Amino acid sequence: MSGTAFRPSDAVDFLVIGAGAAGGVVAKELSTAGFRVVVLEQGPYLTEKDYTHDEIKYTYQPGLTNDPKVQPITYRKNQSEQAKPVKAIMYGRQVGGGSVHFTANYWRFHESDFDERSQFGNVPGADLADWPIKYADLEPYYTKAEYELGISGLGGANPFEAPRSKPYPLPPMPVKSSGVLFERAAKKLGLHPYPAPMAILSQPYQGRAACVHCGFCEYFGCEMRAKSSTLVSVIPIAEKTGRCEIRPNSYVRKIETDAHGRATGAVYFDANRREVFQRAKAVVLCANGVETARLLLLSKSKLFPQGLANSSGLVGTHLMWDNGGLAMGLFEHPLNEYKGIQVTRVIHDYYRADPKRGFYGGAGLDARFNYYPANFALQGMPPDAPKWGAEYKQLLRTYFTHTMTVLAHTSSLPQLRNSISLDPDLKDFWGLPATRVTFDQHPDDAATLKWALAKQVEILEAAGAKKIWTSGITMEDMLPSTHLMGTCRMGNDPKQSVVDRSNRSHDVPNLLIVDGSSFVTSARQQPTATIQALAYRAADYAVQAAKRGELG
Amino acid sequence: MQSTRRVWLSQCAGIAALADIAAAQQHAHEAVRSSNPPAFQTFDAATAAEIDAITSQIIPSTDGPGAHEAGVVYFIDRALATFDEHLREAYRTGMGSVQQKRKEMFPSSAGIAALTSEQQIQLIHAIEARYSKTADFFELLRAHTLYGFLGNPSYGGNRDRVGWKLIGFEDRMAYEPPFGYYDAHPDGEAR
């Protein structure tokens, strides 16, 4: 942490809201370009010294994620239902955001992800649309992200991947038993397994140590600084400029505007629940696919009666979900999957949507294990096994070390009716309206989940699993969503979108919005690489625009 | 993410008291880390014995240390005094319903701990039954038992790491590949 501190009354060049996967990148880019930046982060400023292998803290309690006791969330499937308190969404809540506790999958989108509407046509009941940008527009920024953050992988190993200008900066992580079994089975089936691209260091990189394979990645912060979160990669660079202040425990309640409709800063609650107004010449909103929309809706004013940047009425709409079912397999010999990172092999053979299937959708599949001792015993056992007693105890002796998962990452169609809105009744700890999630799957999403699950099972069968079981794939089984996409979609038409092709708000010229909310379509999940590529690209645009005096 | 798809019971318990949650959580965090806790902070000795009896059927000690040896009841007692304080009422009413069921099933019995092992097993089958009054409480008890048996020992359970030893979890800060049998035999000839 650096000692840079700006006065709230001092109008800094940029106010960044959210210090996560996108906000960390934006802060680094803007501060190294010479601008003065304040980053407001609602969560605390933790470091590797704060992290532990404590499952009770991080899987039982929301150690690094939003706590519904403080920030309640209500959920309903559709508008005719009364929303009830349910933790329907989950996001990282500290400096570094979700990049701290994520599994670290780092997939680029495919070229085909940017114009699926043109390829596939209209899907009844959905709002499938092309992105206003193409893969080629993002490619340099994917590369920049991979090099600045530190991504391990093997370029060219996935025959379906889009062209890349450079190989990964680091070789892939060592394969685990789940990866070996998955690769063997996939090849037998004529598929194309490849080493998972991961935001985890396989070798020392830029002053950080390599991964020691402790196995506590998903839900946990990395004690070795080997997971390439923004916390350990770009945020320290931003702070070193002396022009960037990361201000934790700062919960924004409103983005303010002047009489001309330009953003002037934001009002937030500090750690003592005192209200502070931080002035700024421009605002970059990076609060995630849910909180970004909520904050815009909270930022209503006379000039913006529907909420800020919402002349289209689309803020909060087209929320997309983190879809995917689990297939699990028990094997003869020990896999010891709790050792090492969660994922080492992936296939994209089923990625492209194919009209011949009779529904829209596609999936990426990975071989993984994302359980720890207690949550495995609680949730990882086959549904036909006893849930307690001597036999259950006996099964635990072998199942924990002999089990692996094939997980699907499946598409989620954008639909107008799936949304983030303000709950009319429930308030959070600060007295602000709670987040209300309205979401139900499109029939094609359900069909994709079912179709993918059969492929997952097929792989485990080909791998020689002694026993195979699967998770449920109903909407209830998909709660909570951790990949928060849509709600401020990008587009050229201000009536059909919230931000333009450079992530600038159509309505407020000095407000940029960049995070998962900008997504027009969901691709096949794993949004982090694209969130960060968009963040680099938006920051590039912001630097040029600010230098031309357009943002001040 | 996927392994927490199921909405936690502790989070379903409602939005009880919003005020001072942050401070309470900090306090809870510090409290659970204190060493040598007083015998019990939440339960009286009789209740502790009853809960010990039930959790000892969830993970029995028939073939090596179980919930009893792991100190699961101590873990639950501390959880209810700290990070799961909001679940005390669920325990009070849940145990009340369990005792009622016991009296129905075994009218002459003095308590759960006094039942035979066979009777305790019958009782648990009855209280875990889907849609029964006690089904949610049993799920909570099961979750607490498993976290107490397999969670970090600093919370008072998993004494001598008996849970981790049972399932084969080594608890080291670092490992070297190969991690398992199949990455040690990548060509698969030994299958």
Q: What is the DSSP letter of B134?
A: T
Contact by Cβ (8 Å): A291, A91: yes
Closest CA of chain B from A527, distance in Å: 14
- Are A60 and B2 within 8 A, CB to CB? no
Which domains, and CATH codes, for chain A? 1-62+91-152+228-322+414-431+484-552 (3.50.50.60)
Q: What is the DSSP letter of A419?
A: E
Q: Residue B186: which pLDDT band, with cuts at 50, 70 and 90? A: confident
Render pLDDT for A155-181 as a digit per residue (tens, 0 to 9): 999 999 999 999 999 999 999 999 999
Q: Residue B189: which pLDDT band, with cuts at 50, 70 and 90? A: low
> Closest partner residue to A374 among B8, B151, B183, by Cβ?
B151
CB neighbour burial string for A342-355, b if at least 16 within 10 angstroms, e if fewer: bbbbbbbbbbbbee
3-state helix, strand, coil in chain A (%, to 5): 25, 20, 55
Average pLDDT score over residue span B6-10: 37
Average pLDDT score over residue span B79-100: 97
Residue whose C-alpha is closest to residue A297's, from A289, A308, A311: A308
Contact by Cβ (8 Å): A105, A343: yes
∠ at Cα B105 (B101, B109), nearest 5°? 95
Distance CA A396, CA B157 (A): 18
> Closest partner residue to A379 among B3, B59, B86, by Cβ?
B3
Closest CA of chain B from A320, distance in Å: 16
- Are B3 and A179 within 8 A, CB to CB? no
Render pLDDT for A36-48 as a digit per residue (tens, 0 to 9): 999 999 999 999 9
Closest CA of chain A from B96, distance in Å: 21
Average pLDDT score over residue span B117-125: 98
A18 pLDDT above the threshold of 90? yes
Render pLDDT for A421-438 as a digit per residue (tens, 0 to 9): 999 999 999 999 999 999
Chain mean pLDDT for chain A: 97
B35 pLDDT above the threshold of 60? no
- Are B1 and A390 within 8 A, CB to CB? no
**Lowest mean pLDDT across A1-15, A313-327, B50-64, B114-128:** A1-15
Residue of A nearest to B20 (CA): A429
Render pLDDT for A223-245 as a digit per residue (tens, 0 to 9): 999 999 999 999 999 999 999 99
Average pLDDT score over residue span A375-380: 97
Mutation for testing the B interface, residue in A57, A378, A423, A482 having most B CBs under 10 Å: A378
Kindly give, in sequence order, each residue whose CB lies less than 8 Å from that of residue A85, ignoring residues fewer than 6 positions away.
Answer: A68, A72, A73, A74, A75, A426, B12, B14, B15
Render pLDDT for A514-547 as a digit per residue (tens, 0 to 9): 999 999 999 998 999 999 999 999 999 999 999 9
B96 touches chain A (CB under 8 A): no
pLDDT of residue B12: 34
- Are A69 and B191 within 8 A, CB to CB? no
> Closest partner residue to B150 among A374, A464, A480, by Cβ?
A374
Residue of A nearest to B182 (CA): A177
Chain mean pLDDT for chain B: 85
Residue A454 backbone class (left: φ over 0; alpha: ψ -120 to 50; beta: rest): alpha
Residues of B in contact with A392 (CB under 8 A): 58-59
pTM of structure: 0.94
Residue whose C-alpha is closest to residue B4's, from A322, A292, A182: A322
- Are A337 and B179 within 8 A, CB to CB? yes
Helix (H), strand (E), coil (C) string for A67-131: CCCCCCEEEECCCCCCCEECCCECCECCCCCHHHHCCCECCCCCHHHHCHHHHHCCCCCCCCCCC
Closest CA of chain B from A42, distance in Å: 13
Q: What is the DSSP letter of B10?
A: H
Count of CB atoms within 10 A of residue A288's CB? 28
Kindly give, in sequence order, each residue whose CB lies less than 8 Å from that of residue B96, ignoring residues fewer than 6 positions away.
Answer: none
Average pLDDT score over residue span A26-51: 98
Number of A/B CB contacts below 8 angstroms equals 211
- Are A393 and B60 within 8 A, CB to CB? yes
> Closest partner residue to A339 among B29, B145, B175, by Cβ?
B175
Q: Residue A462: which pLDDT band, with cuts at 50, 70 and 90? A: very high
pLDDT of residue B4: 43
Contact by Cβ (8 Å): B126, B105: yes
B33 pLDDT above the threshold of 70? no
B110 touches chain A (CB under 8 A): no
Q: Where are the domains of chain B?
A: 46-169
pLDDT of residue A370: 95
B168 touches chain A (CB under 8 A): yes
- Are A388 and B154 within 8 A, CB to CB? no
pLDDT of residue B21: 40
Render pLDDT for A297-311 as a digit per residue (tens, 0 to 9): 999 999 999 999 999
> Closest partner residue to B22 among A53, A70, A87, by Cβ?
A70
Percent of chain B with pLDDT over 90: 74
Percent of chain A with pLDDT over 90: 99
Interaxial angle between packed helices A135-145 and A528-547, expressed in degrees from 0 to 180 and rounded to the nearest 10: 100
Distance CA A478, CA A325 (A): 8
pLDDT of residue A1: 59
